Chain A
Amino acid sequence: MTTTAPALVDYDDVVARYEPTLGLEVHVELSTSTKMFCGCPTDFGAEPNTQVCPTCLGLPGSLPVVNQAAVEAAIRIGLALNCSIAPWGRFARKNYFYPDMPKNFQTSQYDEPIAVDGWMDVTLEDGEVVRVGIERAHMEEDTGKSLHVGGAAGRIHGAEYSLLDYNRAGVPLIEIVTKMIPGTGERAPEVARAYVTQLRDLIKSLGVSDVRMDQGSMRCDVNLSLSPTGSGVLGTRTETKNVNSLRSVERAVRHEMQRQAGVLDGGGAIVQETRHFEEQSGTTRPGRRKETSEDYRYFPEPDLVPIAPSAEWVEELRGTLPELPWEHRKRIQEAWGLSDEELRDLVNAGALELIEATVAAGAPAGEARSWWVAYLAQQANTRGVELAELPITPAQVARVIALVGAGDLNNKLARQVVDGVLAGEGEPDEVVESRGLKVVSDDGALIAAVDEALAAQPDVVEKIKGGKVQAAGAIVGAVMKATKGQADAKRVRELIIERCS
């Protein structure tokens, strides 16, 4: 069945006539050391089928056992989202035929999720706050990875066969589902993006996942429906999968609003279906019609006993919640005296945590900030990597700053030390040693260089002798040049004045 898709409606026109209702489902892969129900490792990028066992391969006779760390992570995520923690709940089998789960079912939670009914206040760029209700957060397991062979560009369509790697099958996942988010109007794409961004930051601060959308450890599905403004009738929704970056979240919402408006304007009906987001074009294409939940034939998992977190356990976990990331930022902003814009730039550049860690390692905030946003940002840019991926640690940066503070390095030498660290030459002190970068403040060597420079510029000497002390700058420059920048400029100036008096 091929029909020509109706044209997209201009965005301003969409929001003038329709009200969007959003819903977001976010999957977060936990960074536990082992899988949800077995002791297999969860390392990213291992050789295929080397992190598997009878349990995660679904071999007969194997039995699952729940990973306590995953349950704790789920409870902490629930608490951080202001949810109630269910005092009792079971896992369920979600049955479906697809080779990404060798068991032919996914162990999930169905009608007894571990966390329910919470909220998160989402702050938009201009400071407007939207409260997003959280329906539930539940535990489940990830699926294996398929490689489709013989079709175009690894797509399933037209493939001759598929290859399965089950390393990821069974890795703990938390699925976080919002309540319906009505009333966001033209800001729906922005709200969606801000929610996912804040959720990512929150989960990162809990230390339970690395939440890398580019590596699939955080994935987002966007539910969207439109209703004619003022009608009060909820439209049919679609679920867009494969939305794998923050920018894509925003684009997917926007595109789906424009597409659905086109269908509705043409007198058509929205089909309740799963759609796939196409990163390249920023559009969505239809996927399978959604199976109803009866089709998954959920039933309580007989091989796992119920989970009943005691109130004491929950309170103990509540006590481990860190300061919320946005509160933390506010505090840092005040402490460092940053404008909103400066703070945003630091956050967007991924520099905030690095600077904080540098300060924690003993560096003054101003210098730590200046290193990361200037020289190191340049280096990251040149190499085409994220700031955090540069092969230098905040502790090493703090050490360089300390060496400058002690007068052992000047800024130029300090940059060379950093270059050495980035080039894998070792710790800052080792680079200073091996490259011979220490500031020369030993008077013997400096006096010789100063005398040489003075002898070369007798006119300047006359000026200094005549009281024009600022003329010494030219001699300082000459000495610095002669010593390849390694002289202690302050000491050089003192010596020049001494020698000319």
Chain B
Amino acid sequence: MSPDSGAISRDEVAHLARLARLAVTDAELDVFAGQLDVILGAVARVGEVAADDIPPTSHAVPLQNVFRPDVRRPGLSQEQALAGAPAAEEGRFRVPRILGEEQ
């Protein structure tokens, strides 16, 4: 299968990999493009089954307006919050140098 024959191109996979901050080799791009094509094809079959009278659904349960009152609840202590962190300093999570621009 040629890389560009399906619904998802090699370039699109490269773009997605960049957004997900994944280092993907050229060989992998071809592999993933093919695999993602298969997945998209499978999902697209839903569109064939659902007729026009079935609106797109984001939630499986027919609920709306689920709120909580503006009341404080106990959370974690600083020690608990940082317990699972690979590195911490001055009560804060320590993360590697942030590459790229400020958000």
Contacts and interface: CB of A to CB of B under 8 A. Distances in A.
A369 B58 CA distance: 58
Given A34-B72, A38-B75, A51-B75, A163 B58 contact: no
B61 interface: yes
Contacts of A71: 67
Contacts of A51: 75
B94 A53 contact: no
Contacts of B45: none
A49 B81 contact: yes
Interface in A64-112: 65-71, 88, 90, 95-100, 102
A99 B92 CA distance: 12
Nearest to A51: B75
Q: Is the interface of A mostly helix, strand, loop or mixed?
A: loop
B19 interface: yes
Interface in A12-44: 32-34, 38-41
B2 to A, nearest CB: 25
Interface string B68-103: 111111111110011010000111111111101111
B67 to A, nearest CB: 4
A425 interface: no
Given A161-B96, A300-B58, A308-B64, A38 B101 contact: no
Contact of A49 (B58, B65, B91, B96): B91
Contact of B61 (A54, A148, A159, A305): A305
A305 B63 contact: yes
A49 B59 contact: no
Contacts of A49: 78, 81-82, 91-93
A95 B20 CA distance: 9
Q: Is the interface of B mostly helix, strand, loop or mixed?
A: loop
A55 B86 CA distance: 19
B76 A100 contact: no
B21 to A, nearest CB: 5
A330 B91 CA distance: 50
Nearest to B75: A53
Contacts of B77: 50
Interface residues of A, number: 62
Contacts of A209: none
B42 interface: no
A164 B86 CA distance: 13
A295 B19 contact: yes
A108 to B, nearest CB: 13
A295 B18 CA distance: 10
B98 A305 contact: no
A39 B71 contact: yes
A147 interface: yes
A424 interface: no
B58 to A, nearest CB: 4
B70 to A, nearest CB: 4
B44 interface: no
B23 interface: no
Given A156-B98, A288-B102, A54 B70 contact: no
Contacts of B71: 33-34, 39
A166 interface: yes
A306 B96 contact: no
B46 interface: no
B92 A48 contact: yes
Contacts of B98: 98-99, 146, 148, 156, 159, 162
Given A47-B91, A147-B92, A288 B100 contact: yes
B66 interface: yes
A7 B75 CA distance: 53
Interface in A153-176: 156, 159-166
Interface in B43-67: 58-59, 61, 63-67
Contacts of B101: 156, 274, 287-288
A297 B19 CA distance: 9
B81 A161 contact: no
Contacts of B93: 49, 99, 102, 163-166
A431 B75 CA distance: 43
A302 interface: yes
A38 B70 CA distance: 9
A318 interface: no
Contact of A69 (B70, B92, B103): B70
Contacts of A53: 73, 75-76
Nearest to A53: B75
A180 interface: no
A314 interface: no
A449 interface: no
Given A96-B103, A288-B100, A305 B95 contact: no
B63 A34 contact: no
Interface of A: 32-34, 38-41, 47-54, 56-57, 59, 65-71, 88, 90, 95-100, 102, 143, 146-148, 156, 159-166, 274, 276, 287-288, 295, 297, 299-300, 302, 304-309
Task: List 10 tightest A-B contacts by C-beta distance, closest first.
Answer: A39-B73, A288-B101, A53-B75, A69-B70, A163-B92, A68-B67, A300-B58, A164-B93, A48-B91, A65-B68
8 contacts: A32-B70, A39-B75, A49-B91, A53-B76, A98-B98, A161-B95, A166-B81, A288-B101
